[in-house]
A = this chain, B = another copy of it.
Amino acid sequence: MIATRTDLAMERMDADSSFPGADVRRWEEGDVQLSEVVIRTEEAAKNLGKPRGSYLTLECRLLREHDPDARLAMANLLGEELSRMVAPSDDAPVLVVGLGNRGVTPDALGPAAIDKTLVTRHMLGSEYAQSGMRSVCAIAPGVLGVTGIETVEMVESLTHKLHPKAVLCIDSLAARDSGRIGCTVQISNTGIQPGSGVGNHRRPLTKESLGVDVIAVGVPTVIYAATLARDAFALLSGEGGHEEALTSMERELLGTDLGNLIVTPRDIDAIVKNCATLIAGGINRALQPSLNASEIAAMMD
């Protein structure tokens, strides 16, 4: 029953907004469309191919036009939502993890966002600390082929050492609809699943595996080639109704060389840069409510 491959829970619900065991709520704030999918039952989770939990989506097509007001509005909303999800501050740090591969542009969102995230853990107790500053540390674990160490091994070992309050993972996602690339942010409390993301994680990063809350923030930067082929076929054949035939076709394509291909916009470098700024902006707002934007900027240079 799982339709086409996407990391966005909201795209699973597009066809049918009422699904047994799952709720979807949609609203708008200014130019931003929000939607929240809550998957309540194991059966719904199985049918939708996503674990139980909450998936919030913020979408604003103006982001693709590098509209400064749109980015600011998105960063503010993102900051508000994240501050709701990360438990109030005590001394334990928040560990921000930038997943993905710096060497493959559409997979570089996580590391690029880490570069713009304010890290403070080493300042606390020093002259550089400011009152109300929350402890934040950050890592881009790199890719298996470069380190020989799985991302999950690295995050697990740091979690055991640093005892963070929460782990906040940033990742590049795959969407079904190319129109969502670079203008949609998904926040979920379900962590990172095997097979998700552009680089396709092998093992989960979840509360079960790490022992602390895991919040995932992602932006679609690719669609899969098999999805593209399927949708082109549906469009051109005018046979949108034969969902099962299309899905079986897509699965067949995934078994070919197509399964290894990703589809991405030509200007993916600007998209990743823009979205990394947006996400880091939201994270910095959420984790350092006592600092304003120019104080944060000055501390990062």
**A residues apposed to B, CB below 8 Å:** 66-68, 71-72, 93, 101, 103-105, 119-122, 135-139, 142, 144-150, 153-154, 156-158, 160-162, 178-179, 198-200, 225, 228-230, 232-233, 236-237, 249, 253, 257-258, 260-270, 273-274, 277, 294-295, 297-299, 301
**Interface class of chain A by DSSP:** helix
Cβ-defined contact, B261 with A273, below 8 A: no
A149 contacts which of B158, B230, B274, B294 (Cβ < 8 Å)? Answer: B158
Cβ-defined contact, A263 with B262, below 8 A: yes
* CB of A7 to closest CB in B, whole Å: 15
Given A145-B122, A298-B68, CB of A162 within 8 Å of CB of B153: yes
Query: In the complex, A267→B22 CA distance in Å?
Result: 36
Cβ-defined contact, A156 with B147, below 8 A: no
A294 contacts which of B68, B162, B232, B257 (Cβ < 8 Å)? Answer: B68
Query: In the complex, A294→B139 CA distance in Å?
Result: 28
Please, which residues of chain B bring their CB within 8 A of the CB of A232? 228-230, 232-233, 253, 258
Please, which residues of chain B bring their CB within 8 A of the CB of A230? 232
Given A161-B157, A233-B236, A301-B277, CB of A119 within 8 Å of CB of B145: yes
* CB of A75 to closest CB in B, whole Å: 12
